[in-house]
Amino acid sequence: MKRKMISWGLVLMLLFNVAFSGVNVLAEEQTTTEAGQTGQAVVTTASPAGAQLLPQGNDVSAKLKNVEAELLQDEKPVSPNGTLDQNKPFQIKAGFDVPVLGDGISAGDAVQKGDKATITLAEGLQLKEETSFELREGLKIGTVTLRQSGNQILAEVVFDGDDDIYNGNSSDVKGQFEVNFEALSSGSGQNDTTVAFGVLGKSYNLKLVDIEYVLKKEGALDLKNRLVNWKITVELKDKNDHNNFLDLEGYTLIDDLFSNESRFNAGQYVDNSFKVEDENGTDKTDPANLNKKFEDPQDSSKVTKLDYTFPQGSVGKQVITLQTALTAEEANPQKHVSVTNKYNEARLYFKTDQAEKAKDGRLLTATGKEWIQKWGGAPDKVNTTFEWTITLNQEKERLEDVVVTDVLQAGMTFVSARLMKNGQVEKEWSDQPNDSKYELGTLDGEAQLIIKVKVERQNHEFSRNFKNLAEVTWKDNPSPFKRTADYTFKFVDNIEKDLVGGRKSDSARNWEQAAIRWKIKVHYAALKEMQIPRVFDLMIYDKVNAPKDSANRYQLKGLETFTLTAEGRQALGIQDDVAMRNFMQNLKPIYHDYLKYVDGSFKPLSGLEQGEITTFPVQNADGVTVGDLVMVSGPVKDGEDWEFILEAAVTDPYIMYIQPKGIDINNTAQLFDGTAFKGEARVSIADYKSRMLEKELLDEAQAEEFRNAPTAVLANSAKTTNPKKGYHYSDNTVLYRISINGDNHQYLDLALGQNVQLKDVLPEGWEFVSVNEQADYLIFKGETINFNTDNLSVTAKGEAISGKWNEAVPGLDWLAKKSTEIERNGTSHQKAEIVMGKAAAPYVVVLAARPTEAKLKEYLTKGGIPVMENKAVLRGDNTPDALFRTQKVEFDVRLLNKEVVSLGGVLEWTISYTPKNFPVPVEKAVLEDALSEGMNLRMRADGSLDLENAFFLYEVTPAGSKRISLVEGQDITYNAATRTLTLNLPDKQKSYRFTYLTDITGREGTKVNNKVNLKGIGNNAQSAEKEYKIQTIDGSGSYIANAWIEVRKVDEAGKPLAGAEFRLTSPDAAPRTLTTGVTGFIKFNHLLDANGTRIYTLKETKAPAGYLLNETEYTIVVERESATKVKVSINGVETREIRVVNKKKPVEPGDNTPLKPYDPDGGNDIPPLTPPTPPTKIEDNPVPEGSKTIPKVPEVPLTHEIPEGVPELPKTDGVPTGAFSLFGLALAVLGLLFKRSK
DSSP 490-507: ESS--EEEEETTSTT-GG
Query: Which residue from 994, 996, 1024, 1009 is spatially nearest to 898, judged by alpha carbons?
Result: 1024
Q: How many H-runs (helices) and E-runs (strands) does the chain carry?
A: 12, 82
More confident residue, 1157 or 597: 597
Average pLDDT over residues 411-426: 93
Average pLDDT over residues 884-911: 88
Helical packing angle, 1217-1237 and 2-20, nearest 10°: 150
Which of 628, 661, 689 is the endpoint of a domain? 689
Q: Hey, what's the torsion of the CAs at 637, 642, 648, 652, to 10 degrees?
A: 120
Supply the pTM of this predicted model.
Answer: 0.50
Q: Are 412 and 465 in contact (CB under 8 A)?
A: no
Burial of 840 (0-12, 13-18, 19+ CB in 10 A): middle
- CA pair distance 231, 276, nearest whole angstrom: 10
Q: Are 536 and 669 in contact (CB under 8 A)?
A: yes
Query: Which residue from 988, 987, 1022, 728 is spatially nearest to 895, judged by alpha carbons?
Result: 1022
Return phi, psi of residue 1146, to 5°: -70, 150
Instruction: Count how many domains the chain has.
Output: 7
Question: What is the pLDDT confidence band of residue 950, given thresholds at 50, 70 and 90?
Answer: confident
Kindly state whether residue 1195 falls inside one of the protein's structural domains.
Answer: no
Residues 6+ apart with CB under 8 A from 86: 41, 183, 184, 188, 206, 207, 208, 209
Q: Torsion-angle region of residue 753: left (phi > 0), alpha (psi -120 to 50) or beta?
A: left
- CA pair distance 964, 995, nearest whole angstrom: 12
- CA pair distance 726, 724, nearest whole angstrom: 6
Percent of the chain with pLDDT over 90: 32
Question: What is the pLDDT confidence band of residue 337, given thresholds at 50, 70 and 90?
Answer: low
Average pLDDT over residues 756-769: 91
Say yes or no: 463 and 593 in one domain.
no
Per DSSP, the residues of 1165-1211 read --PPP-PPSSP-PEEP-PPPTTPPP----PPPPPSSPPPTTSPPPPE
Q: Hey, what's the torsion of the CAs at 509, 510, 514, 516, to 10 degrees?
A: -50
Say yes or no: 47 and 110 in one domain.
yes
Say yes or no: 674 and 713 in one domain.
no
More confident residue, 435 or 1033: 435
Say yes or no: 260 and 296 in one domain.
yes
- CA pair distance 147, 153, nearest whole angstrom: 6
Q: Assign residue 993 the CATH number of its domain.
A: 2.60.40.740
Say yes or no: 217 and 299 in one domain.
yes
pLDDT of residue 992: 95
Query: Has residue 720 got a pLDDT over 90?
Result: yes
Query: Which residue from 736, 838, 842, 735 is spatially nearest to 794, judged by alpha carbons?
Result: 842
Secondary structure, 3-state, 891-911: CCCCCEEEEEEECCCEEEEEE
Q: Are 317 and 279 in contact (CB under 8 A)?
A: yes
Q: Assign residue 303 the CATH number of its domain.
A: 2.60.40.1290
Kindly state whether residue 1153 falls inside one of the protein's structural domains.
Answer: no
Of 241-245, 333-337, 717-721, 814-818, the one with minimum mean pLDDT is 333-337
CA distances from 221 to 226, 229, 340, 1000 (A): 8, 6, 9, 68
Q: Hey, what's the torsion of the CAs at 228, 233, 234, 238, to 10 degrees?
A: -160
Query: Which residue from 154, 184, 181 is spatially nearest to 43, judged by alpha carbons?
Result: 184
Element (H, E) at 228: strand 227-238
Kindly state whether residue 916 falls inside one of the protein's structural domains.
Answer: yes
pLDDT of residue 460: 62
How many CA atoms lie within 13 Å of 177's alpha carbon, on the beta-carbon side?
24
- CA pair distance 1132, 1050, nearest whole angstrom: 23
Question: What is the pLDDT confidence band of residue 558, given thresholds at 50, 70 and 90?
Answer: low
Q: Are 949 and 987 in contact (CB under 8 A)?
A: no
Kindly state whether residue 1211 falls inside one of the protein's structural domains.
Answer: no
- CA pair distance 538, 572, nearest whole angstrom: 14
Kindly state whether residue 1201 falls inside one of the protein's structural domains.
Answer: no
Query: Has residue 43 got a pLDDT over 50?
Result: no
Say yes or no: 169 and 187 in one domain.
yes
Element (H, E) at 244: strand 241-246
Full residue range of the structural domain in which residue 95 is found:
24-207
Q: Are 1111 and 1030 in contact (CB under 8 A)?
A: no
Burial of 920 (0-12, 13-18, 19+ CB in 10 A): buried
Query: Which residue from 1146, 1154, 1080, 1144 is spatially nearest to 1107, judged by alpha carbons?
Result: 1144
Q: What is the pLDDT of residues 1171-1196, one digit of tens each?
A: 333 433 444 444 334 333 333 333 33
Say yes or no: 419 and 329 in one domain.
no
β-pair partners for 736: 697, 847
Say yes or no: 202 and 263 in one domain.
no
- CA pair distance 450, 391, nearest whole angstrom: 9
Kindly state whether residue 1229 falls inside one of the protein's structural domains.
Answer: no
Q: What is the pLDDT of residues 223-269, one digit of tens each?
A: 778 888 999 999 888 877 778 888 888 788 888 888 765 566 888 89
- CA pair distance 708, 1183, nearest whole angstrom: 83
Q: Assign residue 1044 the CATH number of its domain.
A: 2.60.40.10
- CA pair distance 953, 964, nearest whole angstrom: 5
More confident residue, 131 or 370: 131
pLDDT of residue 285: 92
Residues 6+ apart with CB under 8 A from 839: 740, 741, 748, 756
Highest mean pLDDT among 382-386, 726-730, 904-908, 1209-1213: 726-730
CA distances from 32 to 121, 167, 1179 (A): 18, 30, 39
Burial of 327 (0-12, 13-18, 19+ CB in 10 A): exposed
pLDDT of residue 1091: 66
Burial of 8 (0-12, 13-18, 19+ CB in 10 A): exposed
Of 66-80, 304-318, 460-474, the one with minimum mean pLDDT is 460-474
Which of 340, 366, 392 is the endpoint of a domain? 366
Looking at 794-882, which runs of residues are DSSP E strands?
795-803, 807-808, 815-822, 828-837, 843-851, 867-875
Kindly state whether residue 1105 falls inside one of the protein's structural domains.
Answer: yes
Per DSSP, the residues of 273-314 read --EEEETT--B---GGGEEEE---TT-TTS--EEEEE--TT-
Average pLDDT over residues 437-451: 93
pLDDT of residue 328: 65
Q: Are 636 and 503 in contact (CB under 8 A)?
A: no
Query: Has residue 646 got a pLDDT over 60?
Result: yes
Query: Has residue 986 got a pLDDT over 90?
Result: yes
Per DSSP, the residues of 73-142 read ETTEE--TT-EEETTS-EEEEEEEEE--GGGT--TTTSPPTT-EEEEEEEES-EESS-EEEEEEESEEEE
Residues 6+ apart with CB under 8 A from 1066: 1094, 1095, 1096, 1097
Residues 6+ apart with CB under 8 A from 327: 226
- Cα 547 to its chain centre, rounded Å, is 41
Element (H, E) at 146: strand 139-149
Say yes or no: 637 and 532 in one domain.
yes
Say yes or no: 451 and 581 in one domain.
no
How many CA atoms lie within 13 Å of 592's alpha carbon, on the beta-carbon side?
25
Query: Has residue 282 got a pLDDT over 90?
Result: yes
Amino acid at 526: A
H runs (alpha helix) in 849-969 = 853-862, 947-950
Query: Has residue 15 got a pLDDT over 60?
Result: no
Say yes or no: 272 and 319 in one domain.
yes
Residues 6+ apart with CB under 8 A from 39: 125, 126, 127, 128, 146, 153, 179, 180, 181, 182
Query: Which residue from 872, 853, 889, 930 is spatially nearest to 692, judged by alpha carbons?
Result: 872
Q: Torsion-angle region of residue 958: left (phi > 0), alpha (psi -120 to 50) or beta?
A: alpha
Query: Has residue 855 got a pLDDT over 70?
Result: yes
Which of 431, 455, 490 is the endpoint of a domain? 490
**Cis peptide bond upstream of 660, omega within 30:** yes
- CA pair distance 254, 252, nearest whole angstrom: 6
Q: Assign residue 774 the CATH number of its domain.
A: 2.60.40
Say yes or no: 187 and 166 in one domain.
yes
- CA pair distance 175, 99, nearest whole angstrom: 11
Highest mean pLDDT among 53-57, 466-470, 926-930, 959-963: 926-930
Q: Which long-range CB contacts under 8 A does 1170-1173 form with residues at least 24 apart? A: 1170/1036, 1171/1135, 1171/1136, 1171/1137, 1171/1197, 1172/1135, 1172/1136
Kindly state whether residue 120 falls inside one of the protein's structural domains.
Answer: yes
Element (H, E) at 596: strand 595-597
